[in-house]
Structure 1
Amino acid sequence: MREGIRLFKGGKYEQALEALLQIDVPPEQYPEQAYYLGLSYAKLEQFDEALLYLEQVAASDLDFARIFQGRLIIGYIYAVTERYRLAEFEFNQLLEEGYESPKVYAALAFTLYKQEKTAQSISLLEKALELDPENPNALNSLGFILADKEIRVGVALQYCRRAYDHNPRNPAYQDSLGWAQFKCGNIREAIRYLSMARQQMKGNSEVERHWAVVSRAAEKV
Structure 2
Amino acid sequence: MIGAVALAAAVPAAASERSDDLTAYIRARAAEADGASVQAAKGYGEALDAAPNNMLVALRAYREALTAGDMKLALRSVRVLRDADAAPPDSSLLLLADAVARDDEKAARGYAGELSSGPLDFLRPIVTAWLSVDDGPAKAAKQLSEGQDNALARRYVTEHHALLLIAADEPEKGVNALKPLLISERSNLDLRLNAAQLLAAKGHDDLAQMFLGGDSPTLVALRQTLGNGVKPSARFGLSRLYAELASSLGSDRLTPLATLLARGSLLMDPQYDRARLTLADALSREGADSAAEHALATIGPDSGISRMAKVERRAVLSRAGQADQALELAKALASDDSATVEDVRAYGDLLADAERYSQAADAYGRAIAMTDGSAGWALYLQRGGALEQAGDWQAALPLLEKAVEMAPDEPVALNYLGYARVERGEDVAKAQAMLERALKLKPDDPSITDSVAWAYYKQGRVAQAVPLLEKAAQAEPADVTINEHLGDAYWRAGRKYEARYAWRAAAIYAEAADAQRLQQKIANGLSPAK
Fold shared, TM-score > 0.5 on shorter chain:
yes
Aligned length: 217
| Paired residues of 2:357 and 2:390 also in contact (CA < 8 A) | yes
User: Which runs of 5 or more structure 2 residues have no equivalent in the other structure?
Assistant: 1-273, 496-528
**Aligned counterparts of 2:351 and 2:275: Cα–Cα separation in 1:** 29
**Aligned counterparts of 1:60 and 1:4: Cα–Cα separation in 2:** 23
Residues 78-133 of structure 1: CA distance to partner in whole angstroms, max 9, x if unpaired? 12321112112111222233362211211111122223322322211111122222
> Greater relative contact order (Cα 8 A, min sep 6): structure 1 or 2?
1
Identity over aligned pairs, percent? 21
**Aligned counterparts of 1:200 and 1:217: Cα–Cα separation in 2:** 22
| Paired residues of 2:414 and 2:434 also in contact (CA < 8 A) | yes
Residues 1:100 and 2:375 aligned together: yes
**Aligned counterparts of 2:375 and 2:436: Cα–Cα separation in 1:** 26
**Aligned counterparts of 2:390 and 2:458: Cα–Cα separation in 1:** 22
**Aligned counterparts of 1:218 and 1:10: Cα–Cα separation in 2:** 50
Aligned to 2:406: 131
Aligned residue among 77, 83, 86 for 2:359: 86
AA aligned to 2:348 is G
Greater CA deviation, 180-189 or 108-117? 180-189
Residues 1:206 and 2:206 aligned together: no
Aligned to 1:42: 318
**Aligned counterparts of 1:152 and 1:10: Cα–Cα separation in 2:** 49
Question: Taking structure 1 as reference, are residues 22 and 9 closer, same or farther at Cα in structure 2, changes over 3 Å only?
Answer: closer
| Paired residues of 1:164 and 1:173 also in contact (CA < 8 A) | yes
Once the two structures are TM-superposed, the CA of residue 7 in structure 1 deviates from its matched residue by 7.4
Aligned to 2:469: 194
| Paired residues of 2:344 and 2:366 also in contact (CA < 8 A) | no
Alignment of 1:38-187 (within 5 A): 38-43=314-319, 45-58=321-334, 59=336, 61=338, 67-98=340-371, 100-187=375-462
AA aligned to 1:149 is R
AA aligned to 1:93 is R
**Aligned counterparts of 1:14 and 1:77: Cα–Cα separation in 2:** 20
Greater CA deviation, 5-14 or 153-162? 5-14
User: Which runs of 5 or more structure 1 residues have no equivalent in the other structure?
Assistant: none
| Paired residues of 2:283 and 2:292 also in contact (CA < 8 A) | no
Residues 37-56 of structure 1: CA distance to partner in whole angstroms, max 9, x if unpaired? 22344345542232234334
Residues 199-221 of structure 1: CA distance to partner in whole angstroms, max 9, x if unpaired? 34444333333223222212189
**Aligned counterparts of 1:28 and 1:41: Cα–Cα separation in 2:** 22
AA aligned to 1:193 is L
**Aligned counterparts of 1:114 and 1:143: Cα–Cα separation in 2:** 15
Aligned to 2:125: none
What TM-score results when the alignment is normalised by the length of structure 2? 0.37
Residues 13-68 of structure 1: CA distance to partner in whole angstroms, max 9, x if unpaired? 53587345323136797111122222344345542232234334433747xxxx33
Once the two structures are TM-superposed, the CA of residue 158 in structure 1 deviates from its matched residue by 1.8
Aligned partner of residue 133 in structure 1, secondary structure: coil
**Aligned counterparts of 1:85 and 1:28: Cα–Cα separation in 2:** 37
AA aligned to 1:38 is R
Once the two structures are TM-superposed, the CA of residue 143 in structure 1 deviates from its matched residue by 0.6
Question: Taking structure 1 as reference, are residues 53 and 167 closer, same or farther at Cα in structure 2, changes over 3 Å only?
Answer: farther
